[in-house]
Amino acid sequence: MIPHLPCTYSTISASDLLAKVLPGFCIDKPIKCLFWQRGANDIYQVHTAEALYYLRLYRSNAYPREACEFEVEALNYLHNKNCPVAYPIAQKSGGYLAEIQAPEGPRLALLCAEAKGVVPDYKSLSDCQKVGESVAQFHLASQDFTTDWQRPKLDLRGLLDEPMNTIRTHLERHPKELKILESIATELRAAVQSAPESSLDIGVVHGDLHGGNSHIHEGLVTHFDFEECAIGYRVYDIGTLKWGCAANNSEGWSAILQGYEAVKPLTDVERSLINTFVLLREISEIAYGIRHVDYFGHGDIMATDAGDMSSRLKRIQKQLG
């Protein structure tokens, strides 16, 4: 028999979470727990007699605890400002983050309220406009947010410098493809650095508004999955929306932008830089796939090869004109 081998990722039993972890949260008696979805983290659907919740089990070492505490405080702040978000549920012992000992190491667990509804229909101009309005509303509501918890900012360092360092290491044997990415990165850096500091709004950003982390119910848009939230350029959220759900949907994109600006007008500079931030999102996504390749797998779309990395960026650049 082969000796015991280390584990890099495990799937925690839903029945054990139901029996041993969920009773520690401030909810009515949990009666059912289902393993719901595997994405960047593991999601479990939790049922009580009258309510639905979702438990996120962060991967071991995917995020430092301080980053998760930042997320909790941001969500609570938005919830207290009456912004529709999937807000966190406290533990009976205090705090919000439970720690679970998994075979690969400690994993944090966060229970959040249900984001009612379904993913918005981005072919519906009405849904698109409501999504834009809702993003602007939580940007406005979080203007005065402060916290002692620290996490890396979504500024040029977080969106470009660090991702490019990851990409350079990965492409050290592919100088042709790396040269293409370096050229695009230089253009993006210059575009952002040329903007007057006062022209770019900085504050809490969701960080992963690709279109699927929002639900709409009876006209109300609720946002969830804030694990990438940070202080950063607000226009990054807008660029990520375009990247994820409206890059090839000009009418839908116009409706999203119209909805956003009806609540929170952009500066001329921010408007001119949206496509720059679409490309910054793509670079960040490429680097994310490289960093987490042992989780997503070398064959997964998030762990692209050298040729695909450069062709994706060039294709998006061409689409944006």
Q: Residue 265 above 90 pLDDT?
A: yes
Distance CA(71)–CA(129), nearest Å, equals 26
**Residue 61 CB neighbour total at 10 angstroms:** 11
Nearest to 140 by CA among 265, 33, 245: 265
Distance from CA of residue 83 to its chain's centroid? Answer: 17
- Could you read off the pLDDT of 279-317 as tens digits, one per residue? 999 999 999 988 888 888 777 655 556 777 777 777 777
Q: Are 86 and 54 in contact (CB under 8 A)?
A: yes
pLDDT of residue 304: 58
The mean pLDDT of 129-154, rounded to a whole number, is 97
CB atoms near residue 176 (< 10 Å):
10
Q: Which whole number is the average pLDDT over 214-236?
A: 98
Predicted pLDDT at 313: 74
Residue 224's nearest CA partner among 238, 210, 245 is 210
Of 110, 109, 113, give the one whose Cα is nearest residue 53. 113
Q: What is the pLDDT of residue 2?
A: 84
Q: At 6, list the tokens.
A: 């280390």
Contact 224, 213 (CB under 8 A): yes
CB atoms within 10 A of CB 66: 13
Q: CA–CA separation, 131 vs 216, rounded Å?
A: 8
CA distances from 265 to 25, 132, 140, 260, 262 (A): 40, 11, 11, 7, 7
Residue 315, judged by CB atoms within 10 A of its CB (0-12, 13-18, 19+), counts as exposed
The pair of structure tokens assigned to 157 is 């360092």
Considering the segment(s) 14-63+85-113 as one domain, its CATH architecture is 2-Layer Sandwich (3.30)
Could you tell me the pTM of the whole model?
Answer: 0.94
**The two three-digit tokens of residue 154, written as one number:** 């979504």
User: What distance in Å separates the CA atoms of residue 78 and residue 86, rounded to the nearest whole number?
Assistant: 10
DSSP 22: G
Please determine, for residue 88, whether its predicted confidence score (pLDDT) is greater than 90. Answer: yes
CATH fourth-level superfamily of 125-320: Aminoglycoside phosphotransferase (APH), C-terminal lobe (3.90.1200.10)
Q: pLDDT class for 83, splitting at 50, 70, 90?
A: very high
Position with higher pLDDT, 257 vs 39? 257
- Spell out the domain ranges in the chain: 14-63+85-113, 125-320
pLDDT digits (tens, 9 = 90+) for 172-198: 888 888 998 999 999 999 999 999 989
